[in-house]
Structure 1
Amino acid sequence: MVSLLHSLLFPLIPFVYSSVSSCPKCGTMDVPYPLSTKGSCGNPKYKIHCNKTEGLEFISSDGFHYEIININSTANRLFIMPPLIKEDTCQSLDLPVGGFRIEDDSPFYVSSRNTILLLNCSDNILLSPLNCSSNSICRQFEENESKCMDLLCCSFLKDASMTNHRIRVRVEGCTAYTSVVDMKPGAPFHLWNFGIELQWLSPF
C-alpha cells in the first residue's frame, strides 16, 4: 500500500514544485515568484516578458511593451519606464493604443503613489477636477524638459476614486503623459522619480 501511494504521489511532486518556483533571471534581473516569464515557472496570471536584448518588460493589454526598471517583491511592486514623448509633436509613443491599460481582472494595478502628468491637453480637460492651474507640477516638467512647452497640462495623484488599471491619452484629450512615483512636495526636479509603479495582489 505504501509503495502504491508513493508511486501515485511521486509524479505530482515535480509539477507542484514547478508551479510555485521562481523563474530564472532575465539578464541581470531576478524574476521573483509569482511573476512568470514562461509557463513552467511562476504563476501564469502574473505574466511578464523576458526580452533577451532589452531585459524584462511589462506588456499592456493593448500589446505595448514597457521596460521594467525595478522589482520589489517584498512590497509586491514593480516599476516600469513611462513611454517616450515625441518632442516635435508632444505625443506619447503609446498614444495610438490610448495610453497604458491593463485588464480590470488583472492582479496588477497602478499604485496610488503615482502622480500623473498629462500633457498637450485640449480645453475639454478643464471640466475635470484635475490640477490644470499655473502652479501644477506639470509646468515644472515642461520648463525642465522643454517638451510640450506652453501647452495646456494637468496633474493628479492616482487614487481609488478613479480606475487604477489605465492611464488614458487620446487625440481629443491629452496626447502625452509621464508619471512621478512618491512625489515629495517641493522636491527639486532632479530628484523626481520618473516611472509608473504597479502593484500586484498576492496569489491566493
Structure 2
Amino acid sequence: MDSPINTSAPQLLALVVALICVVLTYSQSTLCRTTCGGIPINYPLTIDDGCGSPYYRHILACSGDVLELRTPSGRYPVKSISYSDPHILVSDPQMWACKDEDRFRPTRPFSVDSSTHMSLSNQNEYLFFNCSPDKVIMEPRPMFCERYPERCDSTCDPASYLCRHYPECNASTNKAMRDISCCSYYPKATESLRMMLKHCTTYTSVHWKSVGGLGTSRPYDQVPEYGTRVDFDIPTTSTCLRCQDRAKGGGTCGFDTSNQDFLCLCEQKNVTTYVKITMLKATVDTLEQLQCNGGRTVTGASIAGGVGIGVGIWYLKKVRAKAPVTHGVQTNDNRMF
C-alpha cells in the first residue's frame, strides 16, 4: 500500500500563492465590465462603481442585457454609444414615433444633469404637436427671424423640414397626420421644454445621424432618426494615459469610491500611478503584496485574498507544528519523493 505524499512547507506556500493569484486575477479582471447588451462600455463611462471617471458615477445601469441612462427625468434605454464622437443615443418609449400616427400620449420632459459633464446635443430637434396658438408662437422661422430678430429663439417653426417629412413615416401615416399641427423648436433649458409641454399635446426628439457626404449641409449628409443624443466629455489626464499604457502594464482607469481619487485598476492590485509588473516570490512577505491597496471597491478580491492568506498562514503554522524534528536528517516522514 502506497504511503500518503507529504507536502513540504515551500510547496504548500507556493500552492496558496497560486490559488490567491487565480482568485485575485479573476476578481480584478471581472471588476470593470466592458459591455452591456452588446454596447461597449469604455472610459470614462462605467456600469461598475469605482471604474471609469467619477464624473459619470451611477449614470449608466446594466440590468441583464439592457443598458439604461439615468437622468433627473428618468431612466432611458441606450441605443448606442460613440467614443470617437463622444455621445450616447437614448430612446424614450413614451415619446411619439411614426408608428403612433395620430395617437398621442402625455410624456415627460427630458433633462440631463450638467454637473455630470453631459449635455443635450445641438444635433437634436424637437417636434411639438397640437400646440395652443394662443400660448405658443408658431411662425415659419426664417421670416419670423427677419421681422423679429430679438425674438427669433422663441418661435416654433411649423414649416420645418421634419414637420414636412416625418422620419420613418409612410404615405398613410402622413395622411393621418395631415390635420395635426406640428412645429419644431429647440429648447435651450429643461424649463423651456416643460413650458412647451404645458401648451402642447406631446413632443418627440429627433437627432441627425451622419451618413457621410462631407462638405454638404443637412439634410443631405444626414438622416433623421428618433432618439435623443446626449454628448459627454472624455477627461484626459496624464495619470490615466500612463495607467492605460501597455508598456507600463496596461491597467484600467478608475477611482477610489471613498474619496474619488484616481486609481489604476490592475489584475493583482490597484495603484495610484500605473501598473508595474513584478514576478511574485513564494514567500509570506509576497502574500501581503497581493492585497489590493486602499480596500476600495474590489470587495471580492479583497475578501478572497484576505481569506486565502489567513487560511494559508494558519495551515502553514499547523503543518510546522506537527512536523517531526529531524535535525536535517532525511527520514520516511519528511522525504520529498
Q: CA deviation at 1:111?
A: 0.9
Q: CA deviation at 1:186?
A: 5.3
- For residue 130 of structure 2, give the secondary structure of its aligned residue in structure 1: strand
Q: TM-score, normalised by structure 1?
A: 0.67
Taking a change above 3 Å as real, the CA distance of residues 130 and 170 of structure 1, as seen in their structure-2 partners, is closer
Q: 2:104 aligns with which of 81, 84, 90?
A: 90
Q: 1:178 aligns with which of 193, 205, 218?
A: 205
1:112 aligns to 2:144 (yes or no): no
Return the letter of the residue paired with 2:166. F
- For residue 137 of structure 1, give the secondary structure of its aligned residue in structure 2: helix
Q: Distance in 1 between matches of 2:229 and 2:218?
A: 18
2:234 match: 202
Q: Distance in 2 between matches of 1:80 and 1:155?
A: 20
1:26 match: 36
Give structure 1 stretches of 5+ with no counterpart.
Answer: 1-13
Q: 2:157 aligns with which of 119, 131, 139?
A: 131
CA RMSD of aligned residues (A): 3.5
- For residue 68 of structure 1, give the secondary structure of its aligned residue in structure 2: strand
Return the letter of the residue paired with 2:43. Y
Seq. identity, %: 21
Residues 128-179 of structure 1: per-residue CA shift (max 9 Å, x gap): 322123x542232296445755222111457xxx238985452423522131
Q: How many residues align?
A: 175
1:74 match: 84
- Pairs within 5 Å for 1:38-53: 38-46=48-56, 47-53=59-65
Q: Distance in 2 between matches of 1:126 and 1:165?
A: 17
Q: Distance in 1 between matches of 2:161 and 2:224?
A: 15
Q: CA deviation at 1:202?
A: 2.6
Residues 67-111 of structure 1: per-residue CA shift (max 9 Å, x gap): 21111112221111243425564135xx2xx32111232311111
Taking a change above 3 Å as real, the CA distance of residues 164 and 151 of structure 1, as seen in their structure-2 partners, is same
Return the letter of the residue paired with 1:176. Y
Q: CA deviation at 1:56?
A: 1.2
Between Structure 1 and Structure 2, whose CA radius of gyration is higher?
2
Q: TM-score, normalised by structure 2?
A: 0.44
Q: CA deviation at 1:48?
A: 0.8
Q: CA deviation at 1:22?
A: 5.3
Give structure 2 stretches of 5+ with no counterpart.
Answer: 1-23, 139-153, 211-216, 237-337
